[in-house]
Structure 1
Amino acid sequence: MESIFHEKQEGSLCAQHCLNNLLQGEYFSPVELSSIAHQLDEEERMRMAEGGVTSEDYRTFLQQPSGNIDHSGFFSIQVISNALKVWGLELILFNSPEYQRCHVGMTIVKVW
């Protein structure tokens, strides 16, 4: 049997460790996840600009810190989802209707 890859928790890089442990290798670094976060920030900025770059909402948005990354190494669920898409995987939220449709009639076991 091959060995199981396990990346130990370091700082607040939970998303990185979770992804790498799931994928069984060192596939994502903080730099790569930061790149995804900044790309999402830019997409959000462009969408907000559609309402007018002089609008109060847009100016308020620009003053807020990123919701996709912070200085501690936190990455949003959107960053995790986009990282999984690189591998052709889809994140389905536990409480979503899509999850409920996928698991009709199945027994789900949670391990805590």
Structure 2
Amino acid sequence: IESIFQEKQEGSNLLQGEHFSPVELSSVAHQLDEGERMRMAEGGVTSEDYREFLQQPFGNMDDTGKNNIF
């Protein structure tokens, strides 16, 4: 993967309501993080790309608990 584009959303969320709890969204974010880790490991866990990937914070949920998956 050369790059990932994420467009920042302004205003209300796409679903126009609270259809998922923070716990549910957190679970999805953690699943996405694990899936990304597994995909990166396919290139070899000793590769430079994988080591750099592990040094970065996971991006599907930040330290404030804000989910960045939608």
The structure 2 residue matched to 1:27, chosen from 13, 19, 22, is: 19
Paired letter, 2:53? F
What residue ranges of structure 1 are gaps of 5+ in the alignment?
Answer: 1-16, 81-112
Bigger radius of gyration: 1
**In structure 2, do the counterparts of structure 1 residues 32 and 73 end up closer, same or farther at CA, with 3 Å as the change threshold?**
same
Structure-1-length-normalised TM-score: 0.46
**In the alignment, structure 1 residue 42 sits paired with structure 2 residue 63:** no
1:6-55 C-alpha deviation (Å, 9 max, x unpaired) = xxxxxxxxxxx7366x1x4x421111111110111011111100110001
Take 1:19 and 1:31, find their aligned partners in 2: how far apart are those partners? 18
Partner of 2:57 in structure 1?
Answer: 65
Structure-2-length-normalised TM-score: 0.70
What residue ranges of structure 2 are gaps of 5+ in the alignment?
Answer: 1-11
Using CA pairs below 8 Å that are at least 6 residues apart, which structure has the higher relative contact order? 2
RMSD: 1.8
Q: Secondary structure at the match of 1:61?
A: helix
